[in-house]
Amino acid sequence: MKISVVGTGYVGLVTGVTLSEIGHQVICLDVDTLKIKMLRNGQSPIYEPGLEDLLRKNINDGNIWFTSSSTQAFADSEVIFIAVGTPANHDGTANLFYLEQAVIEIAKNIKKRQIIVTKSTVPVGTNQYIKKLIEKYTTVEFDIVSNPEFLREGSAIYDMFHGDRIVIGSELDEAAAIIGQLYKPLKIPIYKTDIRSAEMIKYASNAFLATKISFINEIANLCDKVGANVEAVSYGMGLDQRIGNQFLQAGIGYGGSCFPKDTKALVQLAGNVKHEFELLKAVIDVNNKQQMLLVEKVKKRITSLLHKNIAVLGLSFKPNTDDMREAASLVIIEELVKQGATVIAYDPVAIDEAKKYLPTEVVYAKSIETAIIDADVVLILTEWEEIKSFNLHQYKALMKKAVIFDGRNCYSLPEAERAGVEYYSVGRPLVMKQTIDEASLSPIYSDKKDTTAS
């Protein structure tokens, strides 16, 4: 099929490249001319494992093109995917400005009947609004389909080829069948439903996953207080097939472009129909508090952060992406700087992006080693493989005192004990050196007799 994709962000670019890989002719439209120039040269404007290689392959094969011209983008297409951003407004509602602009451009430029597919995450009822908006600008016949995405940043290419399901919402069986046929080479189960249910499936899925994360983080905080190990608890829970083990890893909360935005939008959507979504409000509240967990632990461990050298490892909201949206590092580092600490930050990929958001006082290191040299404390905020595989003995060799606060539980407790470091994680027992000889430091759990891992 001849396909147009509007927007070349995470969703649009991954969708376009993947569809070109399975044999479709794809043209991607974006108003950002610099981005289009990069893409034409085979350079991806975002970091996503495997994406750039697949992009270059399909450019060379003549399967994908990029343009800033709406006329060119929609001239011959049979299907148009809308994959523009729908960021959150200050009140939590979805900002549909970019979506509206894309829809108007489509309406003004289509010359024959086409299927218009909404891939952007939109509130329930938006596709009906899109239909009415298009009808204001054209008399050309068209069909509307809702086709929400379920991609995980950092593994988006894998998810496109190995997804659990493809959701297609349409009021017209013929349009749904065409989109189903488009995805057929992927051999992924297809679920066809009505448009409003498809819109809700996206929000409900993300809200449920966010709920699992906040739940296990609350359990982790309780484990800290009663002396249990959240890893053992989550493993035991996950053995129950009704619960499953995914999204039960304790840490410092969720971030990124989806969970924070979509949970807030769903709360607002519920409010619009006079329904108080109390559970989801609590999920959001727990997550906001969880992001500050490590800072609170550090402040208990160190009498003052003033002039302390604090190394922060990992800045992006999750590994294998440079996305800084709603990253825990943003609020944590801002608070550290506010408390007078000197912050030395390292991330394998996200430093350039992080500089746009973090305080100017932050110093950036080119490696883990240079970040932790003479550090008083290390904070681990993102579970990059490079960080998880970094030898714990190096902390002891390079830091002033090997005091580590791990917000992602990257190391096992026996590892930390063998390395002789002081190791604070989330929902697990403290691993502590035998002696603490710095007067200004006092262990958080100094009243416990047995503080090492069993």
The stretches of 163-258 forming alpha helices (DSSP H) are 173-183, 195-226, 230-238
Q: How far is CA 423 from CA 325, 346, 418, in A?
A: 28, 19, 11
Domain residue limits, the chain: 2-193, 201-289, 291-424
For CA atoms 70, 76, 77, 78, give the dihedral sign. positive
Look at residue 439 in the predicted model and tell me its pLDDT. Answer: 37
| Per-residue pLDDT tens over the stretch 124-143 | 999 999 999 999 999 999 99
* Residue found under tokens 């302390």: 308
What tokens appear for 25 in the block? 């002719």
Query: 261 labelled as ligand-binding?
Result: yes
Active site (annotated) includes residue 258 = yes
Reading the chain (454 residues) residue by residue, the pLDDT tens digits are 999 999 999 999 999 999 999 999 999 999 999 999 999 999 999 999 999 999 999 999 999 999 999 999 999 999 999 999 999 999 989 999 999 999 999 999 999 999 999 999 999 999 999 999 999 999 999 999 999 999 999 999 999 999 999 999 999 999 999 999 999 999 999 999 999 999 999 999 999 999 999 999 999 999 999 999 999 999 999 999 999 999 999 999 999 989 999 999 999 999 999 999 999 999 999 999 999 999 999 999 998 999 999 999 999 999 999 999 999 999 999 999 999 999 999 999 999 999 999 999 999 999 999 999 999 999 999 999 999 999 999 999 999 999 999 999 999 999 999 999 999 999 999 998 644 444 344 444 434 333 333 3
What tokens appear for 118 in the block? 């909404």
Look at residue 303 in the predicted model and tell me its pLDDT. Answer: 85
Q: How far is CA 271 from CA 196, 277, 441, in A?
A: 17, 8, 47
Look at residue 448 in the predicted model and tell me its pLDDT. Answer: 39
State the DSSP string of 79-120.
EEEE----PBPTTS-B--HHHHHHHHHHHHH--S-EEEEE-S
Determine how many CB atoms are found less than 10 A away from the CB of residue 150.
17
Q: Options 3.40.50.300, 1.20.1530.20, 1.25.40.10, 1.10.1040.10; which CATH number does 201-289 get?
A: 1.10.1040.10
Q: What is the CA radius of gyration of the chain?
A: 24
Query: 152 labelled as ligand-binding?
Result: yes
Query: 247 labelled as ligand-binding?
Result: yes
Domain 2-193: CATH superfamily is: NAD(P)-binding Rossmann-like Domain (3.40.50.720)
Determine how many CB atoms are found less than 10 A away from the CB of residue 304.
11
Look at residue 433 in the predicted model and tell me its pLDDT. Answer: 67
Query: 150 labelled as ligand-binding?
Result: yes
Query: Which residue out of 28, 223, 258, 410 is catalytically annotated?
Result: 258
CA 136 centroid distance within chain? 36
Domains 2-193 and 291-424 share a fold: yes
CA 453 centroid distance within chain? 32
Q: Options 3.30.70.20, 3.30.470.20, 3.40.50.720, 3.40.190.170; which CATH number does 291-424 get?
A: 3.40.50.720
CB-based contact 297:377 (threshold 8 Å): no
Query: 255 labelled as ligand-binding?
Result: yes
Query: 153 labelled as ligand-binding?
Result: yes
Look at residue 447 in the predicted model and tell me its pLDDT. Answer: 40
